[in-house]
Amino acid sequence: MLVYRLPGTLDDEALTDLLWEAGATGLEERGGFVRASFGARTPLADTPELGSGEWLDEPDLDWQAEWKASLRPVRAGRITVVPGWLLPEVQAGQVPLIIEPGMAFGTGHHATTRMAIEALSALKLNGQRVLDVGSGSGVLALAASLLGASSALGLDIDPLTIPVALENARTNGYLPAAAGLKHPQSGRLLDFQEGSLSDELPWDDQPYGVLVANLYAELHDLLAPDYRSALQAGGTLILTGILESRLPLVRAALEREGFTGVQERQDGEWALVTASSGD
Ligand SMILES: C[S@@+](CC[C@H](N)C(=O)[O-])C[C@H]1O[C@@H](n2cnc3c(N)ncnc32)[C@H](O)[C@@H]1O
């Protein structure tokens, strides 16, 4: 890749205009220098404003390959989230959860996803029905299912996430069933549907034992009454995506709706709250 590097910033419009006019195919700023990519050397030194630069012939980098190589398995409780090609790195005793990094949020690398999986991992999920609101890549519903939930349903308002989550489920061994997917050995059911809690849901007739939602504080505040009605008595609520500064909003919403046993933990600026829906 051919780069012309000269002192300056991208805020200097006169400079960037001159570089574009000279045929630059891309501009970036690094450490007080503007770096302009060119297909071929051009006589830039003839333009006084550009004369202070130098040509660099840099090796081409395959950014996708670099990024893939930098991905590591993420260990969260009993689950290790990995892209398929890192499966051999999962330690014995850990449950592998394969997520191919792609279009939907939820590779396990974000603190909120990690904390939510840890919270699921700390529960006895065997035989439980779990609802994941804002399922993205499907990572939390999948984690719940792999940890023993008899059925897990992921809801997301973004229709693009649904095929991604279904594909991730298939990658983890789930097969199409009469409704949604089923794990052939354990018989556990898993499904992903477009929608949200406030919608009239055909599957909403039976309350859930666990509800997990990685959204944001303002939405948790709005959805708190729906969380209460979606959960069975004594059900567990796991909320994350909450910035530490917004915790009071979530605390107040849970108190308003009669949740009990509220517990909080933090990872950097992000918080996770668990609570019980009471009797
Ligand atoms: C931060 S991502 C969480 C993804 C995944 N559950 C995880 O924990 O890594 C939030 C997801 O919630 C979805 N979402 C946003 N608002 C929603 C709502 N009101 N109801 C359902 N899903 C929603 C977004 O489309 C996005 O996929």
- pLDDT tens digits for 24-44? 999 998 889 999 999 888 888
Tell me the pLDDT band of 132, cut-offs 50, 70 and 90.
very high
Q: What is the topology classification, in CATH, of domain 2-60?
A: Alpha-Beta Plaits (3.30.70)
Average pLDDT, integer, range 250-256: 98
- Give the residue range(s) of CATH 3.40.50.150 domains in the chain: 68-276
Torsion 251-255-257-258 (CA) sign: positive
Q: How far is it, in rounded angstroms, from Cα 277 to Cα 270? A: 23
The strands making up 74-76's β-sheet, listed across from edge to edge, are: 74-76, 79-82, 95-98
pLDDT digits (tens, 9 = 90+) for 72-128: 899 999 999 999 999 999 999 999 999 988 767 888 889 999 999 999 999 999 999
CATH code, residues 68-276: 3.40.50.150
**Hey, what amino acid is at 82?**
V
pLDDT of residue 200: 64
Range name among 2-16, 41-55, 109-123, 171-185 with the lowest pLDDT average: 41-55
Residue 278 Cα to ligand 1 midpoint, Å, equals 25
What is the reported pTM? Answer: 0.80
> Which residues lie across from 155 on neighbouring strands?
133, 193
**Residue 205 CA to ligand 1 centre (angstroms):** 22
pLDDT over 90 (residue 204): no
Which of 115, 214, 221, 238 to probe ligand 1 with, by most ligand atoms within 8 A of CB? 214
- CA torsion 231→232→236→238, rounded to 10°? -10
**Burial of 165 per CB tally in 10 Å (0-12, 13-18, 19+):** buried
- At residue 105, the pLDDT reads 83
Atom number of ligand 1 nearest to Cα 136 = 27
Strands 129-133 and 95-98: unpaired
Mean pLDDT of 247-265: 98
Average pLDDT, the chain: 92
Ligand 1 nearest atom to the CA of residue 108, by list position? 9
User: What gap in Å lies between CA 212 and CA 180, rounded to an integer?
Assistant: 19
239 bridge partner residues: 213, 273
Classify 265 as helix, strand or coil. strand
Q: Which of 81, 97, 99, 105 to mutate to test the pocket of ligand 1 (most atoms within 8 A of CB)?
A: 105
